[in-house]
Structures are given as C-alpha cells and as structure tokens.
Amino acid sequence: MLNLLKSKKEWEHKLITTKPTSDSPNYPMRQLYSYIVVFMASGCVLTIEIVAGRMLAPIIGVSLYTWTSIIGIVLAGISLGNFLGGVIADRFPYRYVLGLILLASCLSSLSILPLIELVSEGFISFSVISRIVVVTTIVFFLPSVMLGMVTPVVVKLRLNDLDKTGNIVGKLYAVSTAGSIFGTFITGFVLIQWMGTRSIVLTVTGLLLLLAIAFGRLYDMKIMLATFVLLLVGLGIITVKMEAFRTPCLIESSYFCIRIWEEESNGRTVSVLALDRLVHSYVDLDDPEFLAYGYEKVFADLSAYVGENNPQFKSLFIGGGGYTMPRLIENRYPESVIEVVEIDPAVTEVAYKYLAMPRNTRIITYNRDARMMVQELKEERYDLIIGDAFNHYSVPYHLTTLEFNEMVKALLNEEGIYTVNVIDRLHSGRFLRAVSHTLEQSFDFVYIMHNRSDWSKDIRDTFVVAASDTPIALDKVNTGTSQNIKFTHKMPIDVYNSWIGAKKSILLTDAFVPVDNLLAPLFLEY
C-alpha cells in the first residue's frame, strides 16, 4: 500500500479532514458525513444480528442457545473489529481506508447468502449446541468484524482538536448507538415481514456499497478498488448461481419461517407444514381425521374420552400449527365448540390457504400470545384444553410455569382436562419431570401418556402429560384411532410415583424457569 504513494505530501493529501477547524466553512458538512457513516454502519450490524436469528431458524432452530450464540459471536466480531479498526486508524488515518473498510463490509455481508446455503446441510454429526456455534461463526463473524472497524476509523478522522476529544468521541458513539437501536427496531418490526431476510441482506450490501462510494474517496486507490469490484462481482455471480438470494420459506413471518411441501406417507399424499426447523404437521387435505404423530392420537383419545358423555364439549387449543386436531374435533363432534390460540396470524392464513381448512369453519382463532389470551378468557369455561406449543428446540417457557397452570385451571370445568405434549427422555430427561411436578401443584391428578405400554425404556419421544382434578379413566371408554384400536396407555400410578420420585424435580415458576437448561441433554445428543 505504501509503495503506491509517491510522496509523503501525496499521502497526507488523502486525509478526510486535512486538519479542519471549527470555523472552516465545510466543517459542519464533514460532521454530518461522519454521523451518517457511523449511524448507518451500526444500524447494519444490528440488522444483520436480527436477521441471523431468522436465517438460522430453518437450519438449527430457535432457542436460548441460538440467540446466545448469535449475540455472543456478533459482539465478539464487533469487539475484534473495534480493536483492529483502532490499530488501522492510527497507522492509516485516511478517508480511502474508510472506503476500503466499507467495501470489505459490503463483501462480507453479501457472503452471508452463499455461506448460509453451504452450511445448511453441514456439520450434521455435531451436537446441536456445537453446530449452532460453528454455523453462526462461519456465517456472521466476519461481517461483524468488518462493520466493527468503521467507528474507530471515523473517530480518528474526526479528531482534529485534542481539547474536544471527549465531545467528539461521545457524540459519535451516541450516534452509533442510535443507529444500532434504529437497525434493531426497523428490522424486527418492519423489514422481515415486508422484505424477507434475503432481501434485507442484499439491501444492507447495497447500502454499504453506496456509503463506500459516497464517503470513501476510493478513486485514490484505483488498483485496490478494481480488486474489490472484481471480488464483489464474483461473489454476486456465485450468489446468483446458487440462488442463495431465494428464501427457503413460503412465508417469513414475525415468528417463523413457514414452509409447505408434499410427500408420500403410508400410501397417501400429505402436505407437510414446517415452522422454522421443526416439521409441525402432516395434513391429508381430503381426510380431516388423519393424524401422523403418536401424541396427536393420544390427544384424539382424550377428546373421545371427554366427548363420549358430552358431545357438545368446549375445547381450547394453545397452538394451532396445521390445525390437525381442531379439524378432527370439528369433524367428529359437530356440536362441539373449538377455539384456538395461535400466536402467528400467518400460520392461520397458511392453514386456510394451503391446508384445506375452510373459511367458514366453526373453529374460532385468536392470533395472540397464549398467556395473554388465557388471561383475557378468564370468564370462559372449557372441558378440554390442549397445549401444543412445545417442541424440543423452542419451548415458550412462560407457558410451563406454576402461575400459567393456575390460569389454565381457572378456565376448566369441574371435570375438565389440561394436557400438553413434551419431548424428552423418559428416565434421564429433566424437563418432563419438571412439567409433571409443576402440574402436581395445581391439579389433584397428573398422568403420563404414550402409545407404548412399556415404561422401562429410557426412550426419547413425545409424551403427553394430562392433568385434572378428577381421575381420567381411559380404560372405561372405548377410545382409539379411526380404526377403533386402543392407542393410549397411561403410566400406572405406582410406576408414576416411582418415576417422579426417582430424581429431584424442579418447580417451574415465573421467577425460575430454566427450560433450555433442562433440555440441554437433548441438544448435546442431537
């Protein structure tokens, strides 16, 4: 780089400020330039951080571990970028250096798109936590480093008066923080639903390129500029060839990457609904009573138990997904009342548009957070409440606590049943025990249910936990699948007492609800 300069005089000519003073006629404009660059660069790095969560969701799911990794790695990148930016700024305090850093930020941001495609199927052999850290680092560390270098360089370029160092540094970092806040809110509240994650990344890339051109004085470094342009064009071609700019999502909502596809299952064609990484539902568009998952069949047995003596029973579903169970109850019990709390209106719309749920359905849907909705429904009474909002990658912890259970209990009739599905290992797992133990504090009877009667194996599966203030006597009713085959098995009381007492169980409360830690063994396994 030094060899490209003919003289010290030429070198000094490229300073952004050329030692301006406060009374210089163009000094205010230079102030504005620095604020724009710092504001936009800081906004871009937080935009990338928010987008990271959505882009990684279909690959590694969304959990505390995912967001911990994203925040930690982005902050590590910014920290390293601040350090490197400070070193570079002291040695090369020139405007074209800022331009080159902005160009490098542009390149590294664009690289997110092909890299996310390359790693999407990689590192499968790693544990979930290891895979989360590795994938996040590969895709998002370098852009964070490059964008972290911007502010120290701009600070150096603005420091023309040592007596005003504190004032200049304070203002620039205040503007930087304001940019970060703006990037966070605009991305989370507006851009993801409006543009989608891939378009956001392309927009960030274009914005950084414009900043480099407008404020970087890149014409002073023709050779390096040409090199960066070639790299940018090459990376753009790779991105287009890989079609990495195309989102894998049918819809990118505020909550999920929603995907739909068809596949063959047991001689029938079914539509598959995936929310982020998890396949949530298998739906036969021609058969509203088709159930693919074992735990769904247990839910069906419980609905049969409730509906045998009361075909007009009132049910509430926490979590809609593919609306498989609500549609089954609607079909089997035409006099029943069915209400669903589904946090994401886009999921409900997908059920209407792609999963054969009729617009004139009797199913009443509330697109609200379940806990908020349960509080609003406190005057209603239900015979059956089914919680189907849990999965092993993302469990809404505020729906697992003692306080929430008490709210749910208040909505149940005297013989009402509350039931939830829980993914865990039967004996070595800790989350299933915690859920059961917490429900015991609110209900007189708690049961573990499964499609198998063998309770000795430490299997990893989806179990159903049912709670009520009256005994649930499934053996007294002919429950089962559409083939009239008894499906559900309750863990015997003596086995349950031995099982729940074998290990210390955690009481889940609003003040202490370590759900992700309880599920950590599953993350380490898979």
pLDDT of residue 25: 39
The residue among 389, 332, 331 whose CA lies nearest residue 361 is 331
**What pLDDT is recorded for position 162?**
63
Question: For residues 371 and 348, is the Cβ–Cβ distance under 8 A?
Answer: no
- Amino acid 526: pLDDT: 58
Q: What is the DSSP string of 483-514?
A: T-----EEPPHHHHHHHHHSS--PPPBTTB--
Q: What's the pLDDT tens digit per position in 98-129?
A: 999 999 999 999 999 999 989 887 787 787 78
8 A C-beta contact, residue 420 and residue 391:
no
- As a whole number of angstroms, the distance between CA 261 and CA 251 comes to 13
pLDDT given for residue 437 in this prediction: 97
For the chain, list residues with pLDDT below 70. Answer: 1-29, 160-163, 219-225, 244, 391-393, 475-486, 523-526
pLDDT given for residue 324 in this prediction: 94
- Read off the pTM: 0.85
How far apart are alpha carbons 302 and 328 in whole angstroms?
12
pLDDT of residue 344: 94
Structural domains of the chain, ranges and CATH numbers in brackets: 2-248 (1.20.1250), 291-525 (3.40.50.150)
pLDDT value of residue 20: 42
Q: Return the axis-axis angle of helices 112-119 and 27-60, rounded to nearest 10°.
A: 10
Helix (H) or strand (E) holding 162: none
User: CA torsion sign, 116 to 120 to 126 to 127?
Assistant: positive
pLDDT digit string (tens) for 490-499? 999 999 999 9
Q: Quick one: pLDDT at residue 1? A: 42
